[in-house]
Amino acid sequence: MVPLSDTTETETPALASDTLREGIVDRLRTTLGDAVVEVHLEPNVDLWVRVRHDAWRETGLALRDQGFHYFCFLSAIDWQPSPFGRGEDDPSAPAPEPDDPAAEPEMRHGVTGGDTRFQVFARVTDVQRHVGITIKADVPDDSSVVDSWVTVYAGANWHERETHEMFGIGFAGHPDLRNIYLPTDFEGHPLRKDFPLLARIVKPWPGIADVEPLPGEGDEGDGGASE
């Protein structure tokens, strides 16, 4: 009879495997080469891939060829901390001095990292295999333009219009980047972190609206109006 102590060995737990998503990444690397910049895979949960901006449209084509025929959404994100907004999260924190570069908070990107202030990202799904993927790309600081996905996914049309309107990012090859929400001559892009919000200028965060008292409130003991 083997002693119990001889059978209780410490085993290293096996790493979780996700052959489906790993295969998707492998095919992307085969198609795009070093245009695949960074991958974040949570096994059996989800997948994020950052690609070079000059491979943005090619990435959409590669995913469509892999069976990702359902376009979910496309948008952008501004990773620059708001120059007005430290007090929005912490009202007691002093705002940085505008002429002090050292006081500017550092940009911190999300999963798959980033090298520029703006990123575009899109979500597509393979409904047959029940798997989705989020694709990201850094938007060049000097041009703020990436290629359009309209000829790859027709549903990207108004998503790109909205992203152009709200972030000021251009989409080369888009047939009509007219505003959706704002007047044609509107100046600025409201979802940029440095776009001044009038509500925050008039009243600091959280900007709770002043409520006028109801008639009769606060009149007790006044004895009527007096000069």
- Give me the tens of pLDDT residue by residue for the chain, a chain 227 residues long: 555 555 445 555 555 689 999 999 999 999 999 999 999 999 999 999 999 999 999 999 999 999 999 999 999 999 998 876 554 444 455 555 555 555 567 889 999 999 999 999 999 999 999 999 999 999 999 999 999 999 999 999 999 999 999 999 999 999 999 999 999 889 999 999 988 876 666 655 555 555 567 677 655 555 444 44
| pTM exceeds 0.85 for this model | no
Order the strands of the 36-42 sheet from edge to edge. Answer: 36-42, 46-51, 131-138, 118-126, 70-78
Residue 105 DSSP SS3? coil
Name the CATH architecture for the domain at 17-202: 2-Layer Sandwich (3.30)
What phi, psi does 177 have (nearest 5°)? -95, 45
Give the residue from 145, 156, 154, 157 showing the smallest Cα distance to 122.
Answer: 156
The pLDDT of residue 212 is: 64
The pLDDT of residue 147 is: 98
Give the residue from 208, 149, 141 showing the smallest Cα distance to 168.
Answer: 141
CA dihedral sign, ordered 60, 64, 67, 71: positive
